[in-house]
Structure 1
Amino acid sequence: MSRPVENPDYAAFLKRIIRAYSKRIAEGDIEALADLSGIVAELDHAIAQAVLQLRAQHGYSWADIARPLGITRQAAQQRWGGDSS
């Protein structure tokens, strides 16, 4: 039996961690800015992988992907895809 996925709670937890980390950096740890920047790159990669899997494994269209992001299907396809489907 699979357990329910609590994505909204998990996302809220992640946002709290990122805010707390930025506050720690703001207290004077200038060297940690590079680590924070690396998190941005990791997040961009994670989004691209999620889009790829949603399309390949679950059949979501570019319009489906774009809707929760508040962008057009063309913008989603241009950013993450480029295929003609």
Structure 2
Amino acid sequence: MPAWYLYIARCSDNSLYTGVTIDVERRINEHNNCNKKSAKYTRVRRPITLEYQESFISKQLAYQREYRIKQLSKIQKEQLIQLSTT
């Protein structure tokens, strides 16, 4: 059973994009290479860089966490990212 990851990426316009995947590196590459699977939001905001990630044992838990993070303000997301780097 693969691990699921929630990730936050910083776009070229300094906005933050939150997503869920089983392979973070592949997903960031898809966003940056404007793959058909890349999100519409990131296509015009490339390049993006990985800022934060968490792992989960199930898809459901990862999506629940994504929902909660998407409810946060940008300032709160920035604080979460900052806490993970200290």
Establish whether TM, by shorter chain, passes 0.5: no
User: Which has more helix, going by share of residues?
Assistant: 1
Q: TM-score normalised by the shorter chain: which range applies?
A: under 0.3
Q: Compare relative contact order (CA 8 Å, sep 6+) and give the higher one, 1 or 2.
A: 2
Q: Normalized against structure 1, the TM-score is what?
A: 0.25
Structure whose CA Rg is larger = 1
